[in-house]
Amino acid sequence: MSTTYKLDTSTSRAHPNPQPMRRLSVPKIQSRKVDGVTAEPVVMLTAYTARTAQLLDAHCDILLVGDSLAQVIYGLDSTIPVTLEMMCNHGAAVVRGSYHSVVVVDMPFGSYEASPQQAYESAARILKETGAAAVKLEGGEVMAETVAFMVQRGIPVVGHVGLTPQAINVLGGYAARGRSDAEAKKIVGDAVALDRAGAFAIVLEGVLEPIAIEATKAVDAITIGIGASAQCDGQVLVTEDMLGMFERTARFVKRYHNIAENIEGAAIKYAEDVRNRSFPGPDQLYQPKK
């Protein structure tokens, strides 16, 4: 895996340039929604490594370095143990592996809730250490002041409402949200509050479809659905879920491949070749020169 750098003589700056394409920007993403309508839906997938970013980049508008790496990469039970260092390391790898998509990095639990100042300092560290374009945080109206504080200081923010995994200890599970009138009203209100605070996009996760549609119509920000509605302004999935790396996934996941079977099949064949001594073969060996 390598990234080629080419000197841009018009600006005297080096840009990753494996393809003749400039990276999308946050304003470019925002401009997709005109008079409440997004003609071209926003495509978002998660990425945690440089190689995955390379494979997804040309096909996505946004690459999300999600704190879902807790379960996907580290085998943890929830996203709660994720640290800023983990997010920065993986965020930097994804930026290095991409040239087209806007890269957004999740702010981990405990890195932003205490105060707007704490959130700003954590977000500034993420952007400095990764080169990403934006951060994402969970929470609705309660986080509106924090979002406004960061946006006013030059940090683009993606919000996240509905099913918020970092609040799993309060929510008590991963069930869909918005089944009561009060909860439905709160979800829409949370989205509106984040929109007014300046979030350029809002993830709507695990909410009933009518609520997702109502929230999408109520905000100027781009809404990104995950278990929400096709009428959202865009969609996101955990890439490993979409590829079939895990046997059990949420209802809202559509499996586009079964890569787990491919990996296991390759491992089985490799093990057979090693045990019967057919690997390495002539093509993989170095011989003395004649």
Positions annotated as catalytic residues are 205
Helix H or strand E encompassing 182:
helix 181-197
Cα–Cα distance for residue pair 175/290, rounded to 1 Å: 68
Q: Is 141 annotated as a binding residue?
A: no
Contacts of 69 (CB under 8 A, 6+ apart): 48, 82, 86, 87, 90
Cα–Cα distance for residue pair 251/196, rounded to 1 Å: 31
Contacts of 114 (CB under 8 A, 6+ apart): none
- The partner residues of 6 in beta bridges, in order of sequence, read 15
Cα–Cα distance for residue pair 52/245, rounded to 1 Å: 14
> 96 and 50 in contact (C-beta within 8 Å)?
yes
Q: Is 136 annotated as a binding residue?
A: yes
Closest CA to 163 of 195, 187, 182, 185: 187
Where is the binding site for 3-methyl-2-oxobutanoate, in residues?
A: 67-68, 106, 136
Where is the binding site for Mg(2+), in residues?
A: 67, 106, 138
